[in-house]
Amino acid sequence: MIWAVTRDVSDSFEQCQLTHVARVPIDVERARAQHDAYEWALVELGCTVRRIDAPQDLPDAVFIEDTAVVFPEAAVIARPGAEARQRETAAVREALRRFGMPMSNVAEPATLDGGDVLAIGRQVFIGSSTRTNATAVNQMRRFLRPLGYKVHVVPVEGCLHLKSAVTAVAPDTVLINGDYVPREAFAGLETIEVDPDEPAGANALLVGDVVVYASGFPKTRARLEDRGLRVRVVDVDELAKAEGGVTCCSLVFQT
């Protein structure tokens, strides 16, 4: 079974953390409508969705990906790099506990955002970003080595997270913006470059054999489709005003 754990859009969503985009007005109700449609897209692709409430004082809680990393064998509860977001993890830990999976916790002074972790097979790429530090990478190595995973560190520049710059769109293929991360870090994998006019278009969510992808990047979408990939388009432009993408709004995993 494929699960997708999501979280509500908070009433305080407009007060979200921002790093690489300018603050503009956000229509919270429109963001909620887009999030609802995103969840239904996951359902249509075979996911069972479980949504967690988001209280008023957690404006970024909808971006649940940053709070945990879920592998088939276990979950790692993150410690987000923005201190104001660290309170988001408690409810996510409790939600994942219901699945009966072993859990580890990233511990101080480490900081890790789940958006900096990309797992492809037994390879785990971790972005060295403003939100994820070297201590966290070392802890992740310790957690994952016994499970048979190999960790690779990837420098990230010019964007918030590793998954802002590169994501998996097939078991052996990544969608990448080589201006934000070094292409050589993904040697051995097939690559699809984002269109130069769409530098923010590298964020995609692979569910089964379908790529969930934002409608705002039609030129890059054409590149995906030209490579024979199935694409499910969703509108997330209101969520993107808070520096979010299609991977950010769910924890997708199989049991």
Q: Is the peptide bond before 109 cis (omega within 30 degrees of 0)?
A: yes
User: How do 230-234 and 210-214 pair as beta strands?
Assistant: parallel
Contact of 50 with 96, CB cutoff 8 Å: no
Q: How far apart are CA 135 and CA 73, in angstroms?
A: 23
Q: How far apart are CA 175 and CA 185, in angstroms?
A: 13
Residue owning tokens 């990939």? 229
**Catalytic: 161?**
yes
Q: Phi and psi of 33, rounded to 5°? A: -65, -40
CB atoms within 10 A of CB 235: 15
- Residue 79 DSSP code: B
**Catalytic: 249?**
no
Contact of 201 with 177, CB cutoff 8 Å: yes
Contact of 116 with 126, CB cutoff 8 Å: yes
Catalytic residue (one of 16, 47, 159, 248)? 248
3-state secondary structure of 202: coil
Q: Which residues belong to the active site?
A: 161, 248
